[in-house]
Amino acid sequence: MFNNTEDSKTKLSEFGEFGLIDHLTKHFVIQHNSTLKSIGDDAAVLEHKNPIVVTTDLLVEGIHFDLSYMPLKHLGYKAVMVNLSDVYAMNAEATQITVSISCSNRFTVEALEELYAGIQLAAQNYKVDVIGGDTTSAVKGISISITAIGTAPKEKITYRSGAKPNDLVLVSGDLGSAFMGLKVLEREKEVFKVNPNNQPDLEKYTYLVERQLKPEARKDIPELLEQLEVLPTAMIDISDGLSSELIHICKNSSVGANLFEDKLPIDPALISVCEEFELDSTTVVLNGGEDYELLFTINQNDYDKIKGNPNLSVIGHITEASEGIHLVTRANTKLPIQAMGWNSMDKEK
């Protein structure tokens, strides 16, 4: 798996720029009536009745991903997820994306086909139209820039700024697994460097590695909340880690918060791998990034509507700003929550 080098494949220069985009997107299907014109003119044309949300994200090789353990198909899929997650975090429906790629001549047409296969799968699964983009050569490496477009009725769009004291703090899914998946992959890469014949056995870590390599954006959560007739007061997606996202909500809403350690959602697989790596699972859950779960707040009056839902965990409540942002531990002590972010976690040890 740690070998993406391809020598005898089709060079990118064998396609003209337009030929390449046409080639890579020829199997893409348009699914939304709001896409009036897709790829094939100077610009795409969209028609949305409601306000439009737009978000963009740039992923750079060596900074955001490592191709020695990230297959290109997964990279394409994940690049779409990262962007859709931001649309869902506005409580909106994602409808269209554009995809721009720059890459060096180390990449072949076949490699880009793999990447686009991942993009296509994501677009299909999440029902978004790929409406444009660009492909250009680069001196070194590969970068992917995706812009996602979504829509929602004005009154439904949820900002980071609406949390009020006494609101409940909720999170979807479980946290920390993507970070530990990355730890496992990094460790296996080191083993592989020493002994290239030793293919890693990742079976024990399947869930964690999948969370890292093939994250799923929570399209279902805005839909679920609509069904339950719950309008979140504030929402954000968890890309950098629970702590830093909670701090964003608190700063933007001018409030404080208490989280409860015993309420944090942890997959059993995470606990055993944290023990293996001698990491504290609460620290990982608070600071591990890239889970792409949604963190949001709701009015206490809506508690009965979400109570017991297996997709959601109530992990704390909002307080006055003057009370600060704290974790109440299992031992009932209050620790201030700081934004560590997943990149700085190694330095903490």
The residues that touch Mg ion, with contacts defined as CB under 5 A, are 86, 237
Question: Rounded to the nearest whole angstrom, what is the least distance from the CB of residue 292 to Mg ion in the complex?
Answer: 9
Rounded to an integer, what distance in angstroms lies between the CA atom of residue 31 and that of residue 10? 31
Ramachandran category for residue 129: left, alpha or beta (phi over 0 → left; psi -120 to 50 → alpha): beta
> Which of residues 86 and 261 has its CB atom nearest to Mg ion in the complex?
86
Question: Rounded to the nearest whole angstrom, what is the least distance from the CB of residue 208 to Mg ion in the complex?
Answer: 22
Q: 181 near 62, Cβ under 8 Å? A: no
Binding residues for substrate: 64, 290, 342
> Which of residues 53 and 119 has its CB atom nearest to Mg ion in the complex?
53
- Helical H segments across 26-134, by residue range: 72-88, 109-125
Rounded to an integer, what distance in angstroms lies between the CA atom of residue 143 and that of residue 136? 10
> Which of residues 46 and 89 has its CB atom nearest to Mg ion in the complex?
89
> Which of residues 61 and 237 has its CB atom nearest to Mg ion in the complex?
237
> Which of residues 86 and 216 has its CB atom nearest to Mg ion in the complex?
86
At residue 130, φ and ψ (nearest 5 deg) are -90, 110
Full strand arrangement of the beta sheet holding 93-103: 52-60, 142-151, 93-103, 129-137
Residue recorded with tokens 């080639």: 23
Binding residues for Mg(2+): 42, 55-57, 86, 134, 237, 240
Residue 290 has which token pair?
């890239």
Question: Rounded to the nearest whole angstrom, what is the least distance from the CB of residue 245 to Mg ion in the complex?
Answer: 8
Binding residues: 42, 55-57, 64, 86, 116, 133-134, 160, 237, 239-240, 290, 342
Binding residues for ATP: 116, 133-134, 160, 239
Tell which residue, 243, 245, 249, 317, has the closest CA to residue 283.
Answer: 243
> Which of residues 86 and 114 has its CB atom nearest to Mg ion in the complex?
86
Q: 260 near 316, Cβ under 8 Å? A: yes
Tell which residue, 86, 84, 93, 128, has the closest CA to residue 226.
Answer: 93
Question: Rounded to the nearest whole angstrom, what is the least distance from the CB of residue 217 to Mg ion in the complex?
Answer: 10
